[in-house]
């Protein structure tokens, strides 16, 4: 790790006091802990624990979370390609537990890439309701999309917008909003040493300005009675307690809620005496006090109680021509055991999507995915997407190619993009699975399964 800046060390010494500061600095001599979170859209935590060859230990504040050992390589295992878990820093898992999203709600994740928290929100929503995952950076939004698709999320819209433009479209619209803000990253120095080089007092000030701008846009999008969680991965009081204070003064209809399960965490450290309640309500996660990196979480409720606004129907209803509908139906009949549940199916160019029933008009907004990407119409046929494969289960497909994680050769061949061999002779799209969990599509002729794993996802596997 690079040398910590003196100004940073001084700041931490003042903040913590001498004894605590020494314990805090000792944490930098230890390796960061590692975590993965079960994707409960696909498997339960106890099932996952039985299945994987890793050394797992539960994360106290997240029922789906586990620590794994430095000897394990979960990123290399095909269960990662199959979206059975998301590799996530254990402290970061606490944030969505506080947001507590429910099936059927409208949830906005405003700063979402690479998708750790969005995939956690989606798992808690269980495919019901509507998640908007937004990421302002055009490169990072691609990683976000890939992660949502790998995890089989079927009820998310992915946007690539500024918070301000979203605010101009969605007023008092969301039941829950997460602002996992860009920050100075002090809490991640141990895990992400690059953040050390970026750090300076000026950078911290720049972050606070941006955090206020993001929150100014976020609050009007929350419905009365709705919940907003603000989180950072920094220790800096300017980006944490002072931002909470700013919000409470600027938006009188916001009240601060006590973080749930507070016993696992530590209170805030604002200095003013009037900040006592604030300190008792927010949660700090310190690397010298728990097994995880640094985080800060504040939970707000907007006063009042109103349902989110009536459903809008921004998109035209009959968006599929008879010809395209027939191609889709043919695919569905030939490939799936039963038609997919009737959502709203719309076409953008030659691409077919399932969109939430109340998706408002998003014209003028940069949309990366309006909903679940089903696939593309080609000349005389419909070609299913990887996202669709990942959102299905083995029960949904007429043809399934079963690969076993115990036979690394077969799985490695599929992940490298090679053909694999099926047990019996068939013809058509086949869902290629590892231990019954989808990895992607194959197209079978006889016993030969041609590989349809997208090129960008192909990789070499020598061990796991």
Ligand X SMILES: C[S@@+](CC[C@H](N)C(=O)[O-])C[C@H]1O[C@@H](n2cnc3c(N)ncnc32)[C@H](O)[C@@H]1O
Which residues are annotated as part of the binding site for S-adenosyl-L-methionine? 111-117, 135, 180
C-beta of 211: minimal distance to ligand X in Å?
A: 9
The nearer residue to ligand X, 161 or 410, going by C-beta atoms, is 161
Question: Phi and psi dihedrals of 442, rounded to 5?
Answer: -135, 160
Task: Give the position of tokens 């696992």.
Answer: 264
Helices (H), 33-176: 45-51, 78-81, 93-99, 116-125, 140-150, 163-167
C-beta of 403: minimal distance to ligand X in Å?
A: 29
> d(Cα 200, Cα 206) in Å, to the nearest integer?
10
Strands 130-134 and 85-87: unpaired
Are the C-beta atoms of residues 285 and 233 closer than 8 Å to each other?
Answer: no
The nearer residue to ligand X, 166 or 397, going by C-beta atoms, is 166
C-beta of 66: minimal distance to ligand X in Å?
A: 17
Are the C-beta atoms of residues 301 and 227 closer than 8 Å to each other?
Answer: yes
User: Which residues sit in the known binding site?
Assistant: 111-117, 135, 180
Q: Name 455's Cβ contacts closer than 8 Å, sequence gap at least 6.
A: 417
Q: What is the 3-state secondary structure (H, E, C) of 153-179?
A: CCCEEEECCCHHHHHCCCCCCEEEEEE
Residues binding ligand X (CB under 6 A) = 92, 111-117, 135-137, 140, 163, 180, 182, 210, 214
Indicate the SS3 state at residue 323.
Answer: helix
> d(Cα 160, Cα 155) in Å, to the nearest integer?
17
For residue 55, give the DSSP letter: -
The nearer residue to ligand X, 217 or 278, going by C-beta atoms, is 217
> Any catalytic annotation for residue 154?
no
Burial of 449 by CB count in 10 Å (0-12 exposed, 13-18 middle, 19+ buried)?
Answer: buried
The nearer residue to ligand X, 72 or 89, going by C-beta atoms, is 89
The nearer residue to ligand X, 265 or 414, going by C-beta atoms, is 265
Helix (H) or strand (E) holding 423: strand 420-434
Are the C-beta atoms of residues 76 and 415 closer than 8 Å to each other?
Answer: no
Nearest alpha carbon to residue 198 among 209, 184, 211, 208: 184
Indicate the SS3 state at residue 243.
Answer: helix
C-beta of 132: minimal distance to ligand X in Å?
A: 13
Q: At how many degrees (to 10) do helices 6-16 and 18-27 cross?
A: 130
The nearer residue to ligand X, 133 or 405, going by C-beta atoms, is 133
C-beta of 217: minimal distance to ligand X in Å?
A: 8
C-beta of 305: minimal distance to ligand X in Å?
A: 28
C-beta of 213: minimal distance to ligand X in Å?
A: 7
Token couple for 242: 């002072």
Reported in sequence order, the residue ranges of 167-291 that DSSP labels E, i.e. its strands, are: 174-180, 222-232, 254-257, 283-285
Return the active site residues. Answer: 233
């Amino acid at each position: 790790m690079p040398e910590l800046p003196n100004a940073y060390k001084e700041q931490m010494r003042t903040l913590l006091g001498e004894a605590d500061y020494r314990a805090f600095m000792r944490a930098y001599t230890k390796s960061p802990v590692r975590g993965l979170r079960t994707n409960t859209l696909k498997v339960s935590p106890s099932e996952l624990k039985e299945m994987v060859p890793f050394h797992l230990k539960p994360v106290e504040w997240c029922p789906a979370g586990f620590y794994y050992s430095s000897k394990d390589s979960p990123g290399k295992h095909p269960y990662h390609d199959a979206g059975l878990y998301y590799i996530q820093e254990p402290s970061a898992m606490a944030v969505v537990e506080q947001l507590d999203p429910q099936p059927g709600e409208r949830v906005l994740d405003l700063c979402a890439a690479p998708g750790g928290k969005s995939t956690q929100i989606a798992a808690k929503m269980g495919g019901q309701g509507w998640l908007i995952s937004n990421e302002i950076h055009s490169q990072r939004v691609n990683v976000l999309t890939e992660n949502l698709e790998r995890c089989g999320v079927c009820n998310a819209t992915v946007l690539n917008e500024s918070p301000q433009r979203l605010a101009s479209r969605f007023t008092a619209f969301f039941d829950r909003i997460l602002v996992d803000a860009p920050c100075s990253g002090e809490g991640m120095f141990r895990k992400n040493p690059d953040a050390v080089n970026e750090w300076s007092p000026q950078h911290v000030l720049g972050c606070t300005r941006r955090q206020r701008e993001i929150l100014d846009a976020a609050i009007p999008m929350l419905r009365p009675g709705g919940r907003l969680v603000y989180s950072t991965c920094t220790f800096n009081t300017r980006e944490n307690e002072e931002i909470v204070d700013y919000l409470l003064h600027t938006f009188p209809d916001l009240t601060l809620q006590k973080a749930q399960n507070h016993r696992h965490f530590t209170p805030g450290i604002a200095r003013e005496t009037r900040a006592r309640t604030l300190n008792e309500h927010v949660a700090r996660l310190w690397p010298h006090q728990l097994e995880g990196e640094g985080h800060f979480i504040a939970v707000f409720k907007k006063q009042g109680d109103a349902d989110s606004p009536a459903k809008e129907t921004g998109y035209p209803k009959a968006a599929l021509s008879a010809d395209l509908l027939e191609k889709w139906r043919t695919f569905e009949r030939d490939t799936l055991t039963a038609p997919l549940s009737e959502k709203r199916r719309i076409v953008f160019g030659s691409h077919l999507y399932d969109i939430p029933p109340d998706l408002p008009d998003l014209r003028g907004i940069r949309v990366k995915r309006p909903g679940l990407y089903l696939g593309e119409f080609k000349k005389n046929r419909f070609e299913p997407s990887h996202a669709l494969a990942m959102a299905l289960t083995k029960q949904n497909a007429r043809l399934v190619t079963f690969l076993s994680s115990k036979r690394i050769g077969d799985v490695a061949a599929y992940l490298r993009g090679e053909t694999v061999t099926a047990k019996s002779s068939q013809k058509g799209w086949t869902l290629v699975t590892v231990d019954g969990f989808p990895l992607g599509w194959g197209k079978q002729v006889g016993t030969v399964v041609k590989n349809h794993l997208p090129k960008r996802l192909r990789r070499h596997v020598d061990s796991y």
